[in-house]
Amino acid sequence: MKRAAAAAKINLALIVGPRRADGLHEVVTIYQRIALADRISVERSPELRVDGFAGDTLVRRALERAADGDRTSFAAHIEKRIPVAAGLGGGSSDAATALRLANDLRADPQPHDALRAQARELGADVPFFLEDGPQLGLGDGSELTPIELPQDYWILLVVPRSKVKGATKNVYEAFDARGGERGYEQRRDALRTMLGSLRRPRDLAALPPNDLASSPLADELRSLGAFRADVSGAGPAVYGLFLHGGQARETQKRISPEGRTWLTAPAWYR
């Protein structure tokens, strides 16, 4: 049996462009892994099985791709700690972790490039969870480049009680309807130019706001001392970045009536 943490992520930036020929959108995003994590265990099994989380869709598909053709499959157990459908990548991280652990159990493990290709078939952000460190995501988000970012800050996550996440498809359709792709090239180029100057935590405050989603909770977090606050992915989770743990904990107490909260930090390794 193999076990590992499956860490969540936040999008420190998310710039969205026009719809592509394949129906997806051009994006430029900064992925940052965080310490909040599910736990995944995988073992060889005579039949494919996933338990622990009835809402799983991706881990089963990941295990199907990991099968090595000797009539032996894999069983996985998921311990959920990452909030579901919140824009934090929990399902994608679970799938990538299960894929990696199952590959380690194969008689003939596949190379990393093959795993990355299989991860891409599962979702645009799944390949990120096979890599270490922050990554710049291009194309549909799956074209990854390692980047150096400051890591010494605290992260307060809030999933608002009054907000239920709609389908990601609907979020993108609303983006298209308002012409959100206008100015994409300029925003993309500005972000890429900015990457070389992100050396201290406070430099992250200059990153552009999320193109897909916004939340008044981000404004509230900034008013309470966050040097950056925004929605992660398509939401509804909102993150606030803090220089000091004491300030982050005090803000957590003050904002907890608004929703479920988690205090965490950046994580580098998968």
Asked if 136 and 144 count as a contact pair (C-beta separation under 8 A), the reply is yes
Mark out the alpha helices in the chain (DSSP H runs): 58-66, 90-105, 112-122, 168-177, 184-194, 216-223, 245-255
Query: For residue 29, which of 42, 6, 11 has the smallest C-alpha distance?
Result: 11
Those residues whose C-beta lies under 8 Å from the C-beta of residue 265, and which sit 6 or more positions away, are 34, 35, 153, 154, 155
Task: Give me the DSSP letters along 100-151.
Answer: HHHHHHSSSPPPHHHHHHHHHHH-TTTGGGGS-S-EEEETTTTEEEE-----
The class (CATH top level) of 154-264 is alpha beta
Q: What is the residue-level pLDDT of the chain in tens, covering all 270 positions?
A: 999 999 999 999 999 999 999 999 999 999 999 999 999 999 999 999 999 999 998 999 999 999 877 667 999 999 999 999 999 999 999 999 999 999 999 989 999 999 999 999 999 999 999 999 999 999 999 999 999 999 999 999 999 987 666 678 898 999 999 999 999 999 999 999 999 899 999 999 999 999 999 999 999 999 999 999 999 999 999 999 999 999 999 999 999 999 999 999 999 887
Residues of the chain with CATH 3.30.230.10: 2-146
Give the mean pLDDT of the chain.
95
List beta partners, residue 154: 242
Distance CA 249, CA 104 (A): 39
Give the pLDDT confidence of 194-206 residue by residue, as tens digits: 998 999 999 999 9
Q: C-alpha angle 32/35/37, rounded to 5°? A: 105
Which amino acid is residue 253, in one-letter code?
A: K
Token reading at 120: 């891409």
Can you tell me the distance from the alpha carbon of 75 to that of 68, in angstroms, rounded to the nearest whole number? 14
Residues labelled as active-site residues: 9, 125
Within the chain, all domains assigned CATH 3.30.70.890 are found at 154-264
**63-78 pLDDT per residue, tens:** 999 987 766 799 999 9
What class has domain 2-146?
alpha beta
